[in-house]
Amino acid sequence: MKVIEDFLKVGASKLEVKIIKETSYSNKSPVIMLHEGLGSVALWKDFPEKLFKKLKRNIIIYSRIGMGNSSPLKKERPTSFMHTEASLYLKGIVEHYCEQEPLLFGHSDGASIAIIYAGLNLPLKALVVEAPHLIVEEVTIREINKVYESSKLSDLKKRLSKYHADVERAFNYWCDIWLSKEFKKWNIEEYIENIKVPLFAIQGKNDQYGTLKHITIIENKIKSSFDKLLIDNCMHSPHIEHSELILDRTASFFIKNLESGV
């Protein structure tokens, strides 16, 4: 196993990238991992290495603009920020690092970006979406507001500073867009019907950031192959709370849908 740390320039910005690879896996579709809203390369911790060993595929992880060690945000996020992530930055990662059409594993905001990317019919073999957001629910707004308010009285930002070069803008700009009045109308349901590759949806039944409505929307609208996993006693991060289950089911999903071995 070889670990490569890199930076990719996309437009005027640079993305922090980490690649976990084995030369013998280069003929297989790699997995690109898309982190949660306040995530980064480092906040995945050891899960990418576990996924690498389980899937026997190269893994590509990157921090989105404003997060981790990627370029800082110069202004507040617009409501279209996830669309830009999918059509510009994720597309740039795929074009630069992938010899084969990739697999996507997205968590939370990263899952939403994966859905937009798939719905644009950009190069892709299959995707796993963990705790995706398709619409903005009141429960999501309440929880993010709770996190925002608690940050004023706790060391949350100090703890996050280990994972973000510019923690103030990373945290504040993410909270600000999700809590804004204009973002309440944000909706990506239309992308589901355009997805032509297999999709595996995962969510904890106790997810504090969203209800199971998101999974139901996907199941009702998707026209391609669909699998789901709803987990008891699980909140917003199944890959942390039930790591082995997620590894096993993700491996089974890819084996089932990629019988050609690519």
pLDDT digits (tens, 9 = 90+) for 48-74: 999 999 999 999 999 999 999 999 999
pLDDT on residue 56: 96
pLDDT on residue 258: 87
pLDDT on residue 55: 97
Q: Mean per-residue pLDDT for 83-107?
A: 98
Residue 261 has pLDDT above 70, yes or no: no
Helices (H), the chain: 47-55, 81-84, 91-97, 109-119, 138-150, 156-160, 167-179, 213-221, 238-241, 243-257
Sheet holding 103-107, edge to edge: 2-10, 13-21, 59-63, 31-34, 103-107, 126-130, 199-204, 226-231
- Phi-psi bin for 11: left (phi > 0), alpha (psi -120 to 50), beta? left
What homologous superfamily does CATH list for 2-257?
Alpha/Beta hydrolase fold, catalytic domain (3.40.50.1820)
Contact 262, 27 (CB under 8 A): yes
Question: CA–CA separation, 70 vs 65, rounded Å?
Answer: 6
Q: Is the pTM of this model over 0.95?
A: yes
Domain spans, the chain: 2-257
Of the candidates 145, 116, 137, 146, the one whose C-alpha atom is nearest the C-alpha of residue 184 is 137
Q: How far is CA 238 from CA 34, 118, 130, 233, 245, in A?
A: 15, 22, 7, 10, 9
* Residue 262 pLDDT level (bands cut at 50, 70, 90): low
Of the candidates 65, 79, 54, the one whose C-alpha atom is nearest the C-alpha of residue 12 is 65
Residue 88: phi and psi, rounded to 5, are -115, -60
Residue 210: phi and psi, rounded to 5, are -175, 155
Residue 184 has pLDDT above 80, yes or no: yes
DSSP letter for 24, please.
G
Q: In percent, how much of the chain has pLDDT > 90?
A: 98
The tens digit of pLDDT for each residue in 220-253 reads 999 999 999 999 999 999 999 999 999 999 999 9
Contact 117, 88 (CB under 8 A): no
Residue 28: phi and psi, rounded to 5, are -105, 155
Using CA atoms in the order 35, 125, 8, 167, what is the torsion angle rounded to 10 degrees? Answer: -10
Of the candidates 42, 43, 34, 113, the one whose C-alpha atom is nearest the C-alpha of residue 77 is 113
Q: Around Cβ 61, how many Cβ atoms within 10 Å?
A: 26
Residue 21 has pLDDT above 70, yes or no: yes
